[in-house]
Amino acid sequence: MKRQGVVVTINGTSLIKYSFLLFVGLIVVFILTGMLTSLKPEYRPSSDSIHEFSSGLNGETFLKLLSMENHYFQQVLPSDSTDWKLSPIFFQLATSVNPDDPRSLLGRELPGFSIFDSKIVVAGEGTDYTNMPIESAPPTEVLLEEREASIENLQASEDTKKAPPPEMTTGNRKVVYIYNTHNTESYFPFLKVEDKSDPDTAFHSTANVTLVSNKLKDELEERGIGAQVEKENFQSILKEKAWDYGRSYSVSRPVIQDAIGQNREIQYLIDIHRDGLRYEDTTVTINGKSYAKIMFVVGGNNPNVDKNTELAKELHELFQQKYPGLSRGVIAKKGEGVNGVYNQDLSENAMLIEFGGVDNNMEELSRTAEAVAEVFSEYYWQAEKVNSSQ
């Protein structure tokens, strides 16, 4: 009886070819992995939805995930920890919709609702998601029209007091660099206009937020801190290039980089803006005097976000001690429709501060500039003392 078998023929040449291709493929994967991991954080590809998801998980959630594999971690869970389900987490990961936060769904469906996507890091008194800073582009007709300003009122409100010489000084070093990316943002009390119903019309080429920057510079120097104010008209450059308002930071960025390159003594960058909110949300009374409120804005898409946030939080706490209610808090802005970097990747000590709103007058803004200089100088000299003792 003859048995029939199956004969398998192996082509040695094909086996060698496939093995070689597999080897080359592995080498390419390792090279690509090495290149991606060596890139700076801001240039690495990332999944925004996964990042949003992971950043929203608290420490307890991670502990529960770990305890599913290693029951030892259950010992460190809080005693009041409740049972939880994986389905809402996977739903959020798959859809980017947080069942506990309707903004994650409404922001996609309602035009303009994305302005509420900002995250409140620290909420000052009265701050919530209904009164987040509003930053919108001025209408074209406002850009083309030069409005008459109440310059005489601005000059009359200037404080001419003489301060005693500061005990400490930075000497000739200009350690604070102040600039205004949206340098034409103005305030209605600066302008001779009757219709003040639309905040987007509060813009002017000279009577604008740069006056606040100049006041802050003077107040800092009275406290021994050398400062400089950038005089470049960013919005004029924007107009010359025929760029839209959203590219303002692309205009200010090279100017700031050049300033840092020319002055190695610069330690702090402060970009001063004006909020689009109205008087009731941007004003506070302290010791019988009205002040324009401030708010710290941190770019959530820049690699220095942790350092920038830490600085803003420390300053906010100082304001709470010395001028309760003056700081509206700290928010982080990122994602679609916003810049998300705000040049804050250029320094760990970069700040964007909203000074008041469209209805604040120069007197209120001047008081706030003085308060900011006082609080910042206290922070600065304390930091200098700590650095010198190390």
Beta strands across the sheet bearing 227-229: 119-123, 327-333, 294-299, 350-355, 268-273, 176-179, 227-229
Which pLDDT value is given to residue 267?
94
74 CB-near residues (< 8 Å, 6+ apart) = 67
Which pLDDT value is given to residue 150?
63
Which pLDDT value is given to residue 169?
82
Which pLDDT value is given to residue 153?
56
The pLDDT tens digits for 32-76 are 777 766 665 545 555 444 444 455 455 556 666 667 667 666 666
Which pLDDT value is given to residue 383?
83
How far apart, in whole angstroms, are the C-alpha atoms of residue 156 and residue 150?
10
Which pLDDT value is given to residue 285?
94
Which pLDDT value is given to residue 286?
93
Which pLDDT value is given to residue 228?
94
Token pair in block for residue 126: 């009265």
Give the chain's radius of gyration (CA, Å): 27
Which pLDDT value is given to residue 351?
93
Which pLDDT value is given to residue 88?
62
By CB atoms closer than 10 A (0-12, 13-18, 19+), residue 153 is middle
Which pLDDT value is given to residue 49?
46
pTM for the full model? 0.69
Report the DSSP pairing between strands 283-286 and 289-292. antiparallel
Query: Cα 2 to the chain's mean position, in Å?
Result: 84
Which pLDDT value is given to residue 28?
86
Which pLDDT value is given to residue 42?
47
Which pLDDT value is given to residue 217?
95
The pLDDT tens digits for 331-361 are 888 766 677 788 888 999 999 999 999 899 9
| Nearest residue to 343 via CA among 297, 281, 284, 386 | 297
Report the DSSP pairing between strands 268-273 and 350-355. parallel
Residue numbers of the chain with a pLDDT score lower than 70: 1-12, 36-66, 68-69, 71-124, 126-163, 335-337, 386-390
The domains of the chain, with CATH numbers, are 49-100 (no CATH), 140-389 (3.40.630.40)
Across the chain, how many H-helices and E-strands are there? 13, 9
